[in-house]
Amino acid sequence: MKRVLVTGGAGFLGSHLCDALLARGDDVLCVDNFFTGQRENIAHLNGHKRFEFMRHDVTFPLYVEVDEIYNLACPASPVHYQFDPVQTTKTSVIGAINMLGLAKRTKAKILQASTSEVYGDPETHPQPESYWGKVNPIGPRSCYDEGKRCAETLFFDYRRQHHMPVKVVRIFNTYGPRMHPNDGRVVSNFIMQALSEKDITIYGDGRQTRSFCYVDDLIAGMIAMMDSPEPFVGPVNIGNPCEFSMLELAQKIVTQTKAKSQIKFEPLPTDDPRQRKPDITLAQKELHWQPTIALDEGLTKTIAYFKDLQTA
């Protein structure tokens, strides 16, 4: 049986990853400091024979014995990562050093949950992994973008210096059940607003684009990367290349919820990327992976989750 550590395991993606690993028979150690994660996300795993939870901050050393590490610990939404930006950089950078040190000692394989934010406000569209990005090093998003870029550097330097089996995935906007209802991300905001008949807040003119991946597809891609043959290190884009403007997204959510909400335009946040869409050619070739769940179908499941939250 494989002993797998998931840092950030009580978060949105981490909790789905724990579910998927347990379902295939792994022994899962979930580490989280509950900064943005929630107990409810892993409550259903309490008492599971192969699941263990440890409350711990990855900016401090961690000594455990494991075979694989998925490093997801990091606040992910702009509202959350800008709340304490110094802690965000510490989590990305010191957290990566500690988890890489742990992987080095235990000879574990380690995967980094990086992000499409490493491309910044991209001048190349769609974004292939070979694109180096256009990132502001001193803006309000920099704690996250540069923290994640530095973490990638550390993964590749540990590999070059210590010949370690590392893997890097660049995750594009992902949505689904267990997203934090108040994390300010566009999908959760629009759904919460629509369900409570409040105005839908579109930042800027709403013509900026994102490409949204349903959580189950994302988790399948992440596990496929961990399981891929040793020489394939990445970075590899994991996301859904179907691109939508925020206006289109708002329209879909209003239609599905049958909300009477009006659209309200608000100022665009600083350094908000204008467009984002993954080039997933590499994932298709190396991982034989591609997303299968269309936005309409994924939104239906996500809306159902938020409806249940409201009535719970």
**Helix/strand/coil for 175:** strand
User: 152-161 long-range contacts, Cβ below 8 Å, gap at least 24?
Assistant: 152/112, 152/114, 152/118, 152/235, 154/93, 154/96, 154/97, 154/100, 155/96, 155/100, 155/110, 155/112, 156/233, 158/100, 158/103, 158/104, 159/233
Q: Which of 22, 62, 164, 171 binds ligand UDP (CB under 6 A)?
A: 62
Does the CA dihedral 42-47-52-55 come out positive or negative?
positive
Residue 7 touching ligand UDP (CB under 6 A): no
Give 243's DSSP letter.
Answer: E
User: How far apart are the C-alpha atoms of 19 and 256, rounded to whole Å?
Assistant: 28
> Min. distance of Cβ 49 from ligand UDP in angstroms?
25
Residue 259 touching ligand UDP (CB under 6 A): no
Q: Which of 81, 210, 234, 236 binds ligand UDP (CB under 6 A)?
A: 210
User: How far apart are the C-alpha atoms of 189 and 311, rounded to whole Å?
Assistant: 17
Residue 208 site contact among ligand NAD, ligand UDP, none (CB < 5 to 8 Å, cut-off depends on kind): ligand UDP
Residue 98 site contact among ligand UDP, ligand NAD, none (CB < 5 to 8 Å, cut-off depends on kind): ligand UDP
Which is the catalytic residue, given 119, 144, 158, 214? 144
Would you call 175 a catalytic residue per the annotation?
Answer: no
Residue 57 site contact among ligand UDP, ligand NAD, none (CB < 5 to 8 Å, cut-off depends on kind): ligand NAD
Residues forming contacts to ligand UDP in the complex (CB under 6 A) are 61-63, 77-78, 97-98, 101-102, 104-105, 173, 185-186, 189, 201-203, 208, 210, 246, 268-269, 272
Q: Which residues are catalytic?
A: 144
